[in-house]
A and B are shown apart, each in its own frame.
Chain A
């Protein structure tokens, strides 16, 4: 049983608390009166087979899965990958669910089975990645015959399943032609995007779901079309907080519970990052794997499962805050949003701070309208050449021209979506689709417009200026800059990372 999150009010006796900035670690003293919100405790996961069986045999709003399978069923198993929790899962629960579903299918004698990975605009999966995530058994059984595929949003053979306002909605061919679709995914945050619609459709549809002019009514209609196209049985695992390995064990515990091994691990980690800079941080944080406990597993009708999984995650990870703050301070840790990059690229860092952390609330925002967000990140310009080529070009060429989302959409988005180099990288070299960074930027801009100021502590000044934000050297300097907007005695709330919490403002 994990302890729930809580809010610590800093006084004179509080020890220095951990802050993360890119790959840097620091123990800092906070001012008296600062409220520090801690997420729920991370605990180790247990074998989920019991939960999976219960979800498959007692689903919500649907018949038990074993009874719907028979020899002639054309079965497609969709592994949803539109939002994977970072750091990556050590024991990927989707693998366990997939193996269980395949065992049921084998027992029923189903012959025609294929697996489709619904990546959407994210990176498609390569073969080694499929083996690593889905396991040796699934890989050796399905890869040689070409029965596992990663969805390609630019494929020509997508099937039209309906239209909304005259614009067609196109779906993955194999999924559209199946008798039954079993959709496997995880819920690790409060967003409620439909994994199937975001992961298996074409570029225009995803643009209408998540682009600049996305509205609720159109989203609901597209989602309804996707669900009505093929009978779907969804299984979603609700995850807890990440539990990291021994070299980063101090990140799992609260500072006053650190024992000697944790203190040594912290000192060693800090020394490696300071002494070896890039290589050290790559060694430590390059690809951390975290163990996520499963708080719930829900199976059944896709729409109901999505809603219940979201509610279950919110209930398990919510922390009550006394009120909206004037200043919200966040630690931006590279490994919690950029896989393989320990520091994180500037655009993704801004998205993590403004949209994922500051936006993780249940209705009432964590920082008041016109308040200030202070984020800790170096904002160094490192983009992966292969996977984030479009993001690098956006940062270098588009943002210095204009920050306005409407102008960017009009002038640059169309050309980037059709650029042959970006599309070649997406199709053959497992890169993100170019449209993804545009959607990221629109969300960043929406969040920035609500706030009075966004200040980056320790951030590169030019990068911060390109993003339209400000930079400060220390936290105290940032508060001094912020005092123009919020006064000299603001209410400060600090979100303690890593781990995602849902702030519920009373």
Chain B
């Protein structure tokens, strides 16, 4: 050490004492009646009105709403919720319709902060509530139906983004729930990246929306970049198939993550 530090420059050795400060702090605020009447100092500007906040990661819950009874009867798989983070309400959700329970299935997964409705889309958007729009009845049963230009029109009128959503596994869901099954029916809700209809024609925007929902419905596990890249090129064609095959395809078992076991069960083939 070539520098000579002062003799009193000692390190702080005492351990910090635990103090109870909560009560004195709270009683200290009694002077202003706990925030009800403050005296604004001279020279300080008055208050400004509060604003609506964007959706954060804590508002997006992958677990569906357990207060709805339908949730307990289904096996949910939610993908792409990350696309909703940072969005500012209101928002239009464009969903494919396959059956009568679609709205109930989707409601369980949407964040409550969005206040999504399916009634009176124009009035709801004007008030700041999100709106859910469904396709028309699909030409081929169980595939994705056509979107009317209504979604693009409302989006450009109110300047809100459209989030494409694909619901997979809701075809004839109400009938499937009437049966006595061993396992819960699988339902997949897939969110896509928001589409901003700004300065584009309604037909172009509707076409983009249609292809986005179609891609999410058919190939939900490709990476986003590949989907963006391939969007214009190959659109998997909707083939007509009998109803039993549609349901057969829908109920393909998911690849379950094997539970890790510490003690491996001895294989019968060995020894």
Contacts and interface: CB of A to CB of B under 8 A. Distances in A.
A430 interface: no
Contacts of A254: 44
Interface in B34-52: 34-36, 38-45, 47-48, 51-52
A106 B228 contact: yes
Interface string A1-36: 111001111110111000000000001000000000
Contact of B11 (A138, A271, A460): A460
A27 B28 contact: yes
Interface in B193-207: 193-194, 196, 198
A395 interface: no
Contact of B21 (A6, A264, A270): A270
B2 A263 contact: no
A47 B88 contact: yes
Contacts of A315: none
Contact of B1 (A9, A257, A400): A400
Contact of A401 (B1, B32, B34): B1
Nearest to A140: B223
Interface in B1-45: 1-3, 5-6, 8-12, 16, 18-22, 25-26, 28-29, 32, 34-36, 38-45
A271 B35 contact: no
A49 interface: yes
Interface in A85-123: 90-91, 95-96, 99, 102-103, 106-107, 109
Given A27-B28, A271-B22, A274-B18, A47 B11 contact: no
A259 B161 CA distance: 35
Given A53-B198, A263-B35, A380-B12, A256 B40 contact: yes
Contacts, number: 161
Interface string B78-120: 0000110111100000000000000000000000000000000
Nearest to A378: B12
Q: Is the interface of B mostly helix, strand, loop or mixed?
A: loop
Interface residues of B, number: 58
Given A45-B54, A137-B83, A260-B34, A266 B25 contact: yes
Contact of A462 (B10, B18, B47, B56): B10
Contact of A271 (B20, B56, B159): B20
A486 interface: no
B5 A462 contact: yes
Nearest to B30: A263
A400 B11 CA distance: 14
Nearest to B57: A90
B72 interface: no
B35 A270 contact: no
Interface string A136-150: 111011100000000
A253 to B, nearest CB: 9
A321 to B, nearest CB: 13
A317 to B, nearest CB: 16
18 contacts: A3-B48, A10-B41, A13-B41, A44-B54, A45-B54, A47-B87, A50-B159, A53-B198, A140-B224, A141-B224, A256-B40, A257-B38, A270-B25, A277-B18, A291-B54, A460-B12, A462-B9, A462-B10
Given A44-B52, A401-B3, A461-B12, 18 more contacts: A6-B44, A43-B51, A44-B54, A47-B87, A50-B198, A95-B86, A106-B229, A135-B82, A137-B82, A141-B223, A256-B44, A262-B35, A267-B25, A267-B29, A275-B19, A462-B11, A464-B9, A465-B5
Interface of A: 1-3, 6-11, 13-15, 27, 41, 43-47, 49-50, 53, 90-91, 95-96, 99, 102-103, 106-107, 109, 135-138, 140-142, 254, 256-260, 262-264, 266-268, 270-271, 274-275, 277, 291, 380, 400-403, 460-466, 471
CB-based closest 8 A-B pairs = A141-B225, A465-B9, A106-B228, A267-B25, A259-B35, A137-B224, A271-B22, A47-B88
